Amino acid sequence: DSGVTQTPKHLITATGQRVTLRCSPRSGDLSVYWYQQSLDQGLQFLIQYYNGEERAKGNILERFSAQQFPDLHSELNLSSLELGDSALYFCASSRDRFYEQYFGPGTRLTVT
Amino acid sequence: DQQVKQNSPSLSVQEGRISILNCDYTNSMFDYFLWYKKYPAEGPTFLISISSIKDKNEDGRFTVFLNKSAKHLSLHIVPSQPGDSAVYFCAGADTGANSKLTFGKGITLSVRP
């Protein structure tokens, strides 16, 4: 158990809809990262927040947005969903060294 | 543009033998490299890392080798155990630029009893 929690575990929704994925980092970790893993793809970095502020951005679509709240939990919002958005979405957190990240179990999103 | 490449999608080895997982990168700005292990239905778990100022880092049965001139790193697992069966991701980081980790697509390791 990494100490990072993600909800929900599974999500099935239709094209055009909007969903919110939630992540709670390990106790004491200020950084939260979001990754997408599509079929046959590696982990694609989406975005990082540090203590409530956006720190780094990857290949995140404009339809996607994220935020980190004062209690340090984070939410990833995906809107106008397309079939190609079906993927595993992982959240990770880190403390002192950003490159040693602790991952949650992921949320599997299926868009039908 | 795939900056981290794990060209072999899978590897099968006998229990007790050595597993060698390879990784190539193209971004010369990467100065830190990591290996993560992932079991089904779980998130990736940090395994071992190496700084670009070193060419080897060892942690128990796991050793990572870095060849900067070839832009190549490898993970050696000796001896391999059935519990090592998992997907292994290689990742690179440019620690001076940002907090982004760039991952490869992963290698599925199967260790046969």
Measured on CA atoms in the order B102, A83, A22, B108, is the torsion positive or negative? negative
pLDDT digits (tens, 9 = 90+) for B1-28: 689 999 889 999 999 999 999 999 999 9
State the CB neighbour count (10 A cutoff) for residue B112: 12
Instruction: State the Cα–Cα distance between residues B18 and A14, nearest whole angstrom.
Output: 46
A102/B46 touch (CB, cutoff 8 Å), yes or no: yes
Nearest to B48 by CA among B65, B27, B30, B31: B65
Instruction: State the Cα–Cα distance between residues A40 and B60, nearest whole angstrom.
Output: 30
A101/B42 touch (CB, cutoff 8 Å), yes or no: no
* DSSP codes, B82-93: GGG-EEEEEEEE
Q: Residue window 42-81, chain A: list those with CB within 8 Å of chain B.
A: 42-45, 48, 50, 55-56, 58
pLDDT digits (tens, 9 = 90+) for B70-94: 999 999 999 999 999 999 999 999 8
Rg of chain B taking only CA atoms, in angstroms: 13
Asked if A2 and A103 touch (Cβ cutoff 8 Å), the reply is yes
Does residue A40 register a pLDDT over 80? no
A58/B93 touch (CB, cutoff 8 Å), yes or no: no
Question: Rounded to a whole number, what is the distance in Å from the CA of A102 to chain B's nearest CA?
Answer: 7
